[in-house]
Structure formats: structure tokens, C-alpha cells
Structure 1
Amino acid sequence: MKPFVRTLAALALSASLPVAAHAHKAWLLPSSTVLSGKEDLAITVDAAASNDLFYFDHRPLRLESLAVTGPDGAVVKVENASTGKYRSSFDVPLKQAGTYRIALINEGVFARYKEDGKEKRWRGPAAKLAEEIPPSATDLVVTENVRRIETFVTSGSPGGAALKPVGTGLELEPVTQPNDLVSGSEAEFRLLLDGKPAPGVKVEIVRGGIRYRNQLGETTVTTDDSGVFKYTWPEPGMYWLEANVTDDKATIKDAKERRAGYAATLEVLPE
């Protein structure tokens, strides 16, 4: 191999390593997060899992578990929903002033077992576990999975009932309004697990645009005894944060372990 070609190959490999070292990230990306006006407002949201954050390079997120909550706490019906090879997308009409919560809530189980001495795996809804696992299965290990993927959008003045905690799984309770984030300013959030503060949880924060960065530039913060974490945004842009908790609070029969996950996309505005 010629020296110039070797150099290019080495550069390509080094650029790919930080991304390859991280699992696929699942996210919702709104076309806008802060809007003003009185009538006919709407946004488009993309939903995908990818290697490169906010780029469509792996698979779409399915929309069966999509839930949009309006400022009055009522369910908002989305429009023009579609799923392609690399992303799903939908429109959210913003007919009321206030803050909207847009979420994908995935609940299910993951099972490992042996059949005829061979390792098998199955993933799906808890209701289908009994019929999908053969009676001859041995060494069955069942894990309950609860994951919430969110973003927030505000039309006009922020506020309303959409930010009220649900009380199940891992979720974010904003102390700082999630659509009032400014570069150079500190934001404060609380993580809740089943409606109670979640202390000692590590939260990974990554700024978008990693596709052309040699380093992801991720930051990890840890919630305090009251479940609170704080972060000062270094610059404007779209950010992704993720947290995961594993415990023995499974509610599904035969499940010995529960994995609760949370991810959110937040926009930080210039000073």
C-alpha cells in the first residue's frame, strides 16, 4: 500500500473508532422546539436510532408507542405519520399555547433460554412471552425493559400539565424549563424512578454533530441524593442525554431484573 493511501486509511479508521465504540443512540428530533404565533402552528419530528447522532444511518423507531401530551394534559393526535428504511416521521399540530411532551414509551421483556442445549433469545411484549417460549426451554432468564425517549416543544408561553411526572420507569422532571436552555447557563433537572428521586444515576450528555468529530465530546454527570443533576451548556445546538438503571423491581411474572432507560433531545439556544 502506498504511503498516501495508508495515511488516508489510518485517518478513516481513527475517525470511525469513537463512533464504533458507542452503541446505537435512539432519539426524537423536532424541526423546532420554540415557536411563537397564534394559529396553524405545527412541527415535524424524526425518530431514529443511529451511530452518528441525529443522522439517519441505522434504522427507524417504530411509532406504535408514541404519546404526545399537550399543555392541558390531554393526548394530541399526530398527523402524517410514516416509517421508512432509516427513520420515522410525523407532524404535531400545536393548537394550544404551552409546552408539549413528545415521547416513545417502550415496555417489554427480553428472555434468554436454552432449547436442546442451544442458547436462544427472544424480545417482545410481555403478553406473548408464555406462548413464544417453548415448554421444553431450560435456564430461562427474563428481564423487564422499560424505556422512555422524549423531546419537548413550546408554543408561545411555556408551561402546562405536560411536564407532570407519569410515575413509572425512569423519567425527567425539569427544574429548568426544557425549552428555556441557553448556552453558558446552568440547567437543573431531576431524574425520577417510579415517581421518586433517583440518586446516584449517571447521565451521559452528548452534543449533536458528532459525524465530523474525532471525539464524541460526551460528558457524564451523576444525580445527587435528591435525584438532581446540573449542567452548563458549552455552546448552542441540539443535545442528547441518556440514563439507565438496573434494579430488581420487575413487575412482570418470571422477570428477575428490570432495566429502565431514558433518553431526551434538548435544544440549547444562543445567549
Structure 2
Amino acid sequence: MKLQKSLIALALAGLSVVSLSAQAHKPWLLPSSTEVEVGRDGTAWVTVDAAISEGLFDIDHQPLKLDGIDITGPGGIKVAPENVNNGKLRNTFDLKLPKAGTYKISLVSQSVFGSYKDKEGNVKRFRGTEESLAKDVPADATEVKLSRTDSRLETFVSTGEVSTDVLKPTGKGLELVPVTHPTELRAGEKATWRFLLDGKPAANQGVSLIPGGVKYRGTLGEIRKTTDANGELTLVLPAAGAYMVSSSWPAAAPQVQGQPPQMPPRRATYSAVLEILPE
């Protein structure tokens, strides 16, 4: 029952920036460093933690499944995770960076969930994929309500130098196009980010920036911004540390007391773990 409630919380987390920034369970990919030095043996390695937690970057709930993880490096090279460890509260893997430049680590998913009435008139709820839809919803179902979600979770690391080819958008779902390079963020400096929805500027899009370590501060420490007509926002970067930037589309409809949140026909969510370096 506890796991089921957690999954429901995850599904609803994409409804609004408010829900993403509340103390709901959040999935994350946290690299040991975003600026990776080459070792004495001439190779560069980074370790990535993957988990779902209530406290951001706290290991307090369950591991994040790594099925479908995509790691792209400079020049479009594909890199496979190594030394994958599946733990009780988190998963980890090592990543060898064979070329100088910037790498993007992504988990992208498309899901379908909703409800229907069976032939006895009972309301049934489900969550699956486009491929499983025919199995999830019987042919004789009535009052079928569907909501499709495109989710993207990312982080970035660089070694030797930075590159920009992995920052090109795919044109699908909600995406961050970092005008300021994501591994060159320093406290006190300005950063500009552009958000796109299906390749077009995501205007008036709410964005949340949350630092890890809330259990040591006692406050969330969230920064909220809204994009302009070009889908861009600029902010002065706060103190050094690991942060999650997140956004979701569309904004949530007002909730009616005593009823579950209304699910739009389509939702798109984006989250990325970024490291802000000292001045």
C-alpha cells in the first residue's frame, strides 16, 4: 500500500511546479561531479547515484530504475554505464568518459494512465504505456479517461573541455536548452535557460530550482521563476551545491475539495540535476 501511494504521488508530481517543489517523492540522477578530471591513468570516470526520495538527494525511499537510460557524449557517441549496482534505497553506476567534452545522461519515458468503468460499472484505474493500452483497457470499457505524460530526467558532466552538441533539443516534450552551459555554473553569476515544448518556446512556463540538503536547513530553499515569451529566464545563481531544476506543463487546474486532481489529456515534465560551483 505504501509503494502504491508513492507511485501515485510520482504520477501526480508532474501536475504543477508546486507539486514538484513540495515534499513529494522525486526521482533524480546525481553525478559525483559535473566537472570530471582525468586520472593518472589517462581516463576520466564519474559515479552516478539514481534514486527516488522525499528529501532531495537523500537516500530515504527506493532506487530509481535505470531501464532505458541514455548516455550521449561529444560527437554523438553512446556510452554504456559500468559497474551497475542495484541497492535497496538507490542504484549506482560508473561512467567512463572516453573523449573530452560534455555528456548528457537521460531517462526519458512516455506513459499513459487514466480510468474507465467496467461492464459492472466499477471504476478502474491503470498506468501503462501506449503499447500496453489495449491490455490495460478492456474493449467493453466505458467512460475511458486517458492522460499521456512525457517525462525527461537529465544531468550533465564534462571532462577536459565543454562541448554543446549534446545540448541540442530533440523537439519532443518539455526540454531545457541551456544558454549558459550546464557544467559552467558558478555562484553569484547569471545563468540563462531556455525551455521548449515540442521544439517551440515554452512561454510563461513556471520553473523551480531547489537545492539538496533540506533536512540540514529545515527550509526548502526553493527559487521560482517564469519564462518570458521566448521561453527564457535569467537568474543570479545561488550558493554552491547540487540543485534540481524542474518544470511541468500544463499548470494544474484548481483542485476541487474532496476530488482527486484533474488530469489533462497530456502532460510534460522536465527535471535536471545541476551543480553550481563556488565563485
TM class, shorter-chain normalised?
Answer: 0.7 to 0.9
Secondary structure class of the residue paired with 1:49: strand
Q: Are 1:80 and 1:90, in contact at CA under 8 Å, matched by a contact in 2?
A: yes
Q: Distance in 2 between matches of 1:165 and 1:20?
A: 25
2:168 matches 1:201: no
1:83-122 equivalence runs, <5 A: 83-115=86-118, 116-122=120-126
Which residue of 2 is the match for residue 250 of structure 1?
Answer: none
Aligned residue identity for 1:270: P
2:36 matches 1:35: yes
Pick closer, same or farther for the CA change 1:53–1:195 going to 2, 3 Å.
Answer: same
Q: Distance in 1 between matches of 2:90 and 2:157?
A: 20
Aligned partner (choices 216, 224, 231) of residue 212 of structure 1? 216
Secondary structure class of the residue paired with 2:74: coil
Aligned residue identity for 2:32: S
Aligned residue identity for 2:90: R
Secondary structure class of the residue paired with 1:72: helix
Pick closer, same or farther for the CA change 1:167–1:211 going to 2, 3 Å.
Answer: same
Gaps of 5+ in 2: 1-19, 252-262
2:57 matches 1:49: no
Q: Distance in 2 between matches of 1:234 and 1:46?
A: 23
Pick closer, same or farther for the CA change 1:20–1:57 going to 2, 3 Å.
Answer: farther
Which residue of 1 is the match for residue 74 of structure 2?
Answer: 71
Aligned residue identity for 2:204: G
Q: Are 1:72 and 1:160, in contact at CA under 8 Å, matched by a contact in 2?
A: no
Which residue of 2 is the match for residue 22 of structure 1?
Answer: 23
Aligned partner (choices 256, 261, 266) of residue 269 of structure 2? 261
| Structure 1 vs Structure 2 CA RMSD | 1.9
* CA shift digits 1:126-175 (9 cap, x unpaired): 10111121223221111111100000000011014211111111111010
Q: Are 2:36 and 2:46, in contact at CA under 8 Å, matched by a contact in 1?
A: no
Secondary structure class of the residue paired with 1:131: helix
Secondary structure class of the residue paired with 1:62: coil
Aligned partner (choices 150, 154, 158) of residue 154 of structure 1? 158
Aligned-pair CA distance for 1:20: 11
Gaps of 5+ in 1: 1-18, 248-254
Q: Are 2:113 and 2:126, in contact at CA under 8 Å, matched by a contact in 1?
A: yes
Aligned-pair CA distance for 1:256: 7.2
Aligned residue identity for 1:56: I
Q: Distance in 1 between matches of 2:170 and 2:83?
A: 27
1:163-242 equivalence runs, <5 A: 163-242=167-246
Indicate the structure with greater strand content.
Answer: 1
Q: Distance in 1 between matches of 2:152 and 2:192?
A: 19
Q: Distance in 2 between matches of 1:132 and 1:222?
A: 37
Q: Distance in 1 between matches of 2:61 and 2:216?
A: 17
Q: Which segment drifts farther, 64-73 or 84-93?
A: 84-93
Secondary structure class of the residue paired with 1:130: helix
Aligned-pair CA distance for 1:208: 1.0
Superposition TM-score, scaled by structure 2 size: 0.84
Aligned partner (choices 135, 138, 162) of residue 134 of structure 1? 138
Aligned-pair CA distance for 1:191: 0.4
Q: Are 1:201 and 1:223, in contact at CA under 8 Å, matched by a contact in 2?
A: yes
Q: Distance in 2 between matches of 1:256 and 1:35?
A: 41
Superposition TM-score, scaled by structure 1 size: 0.86
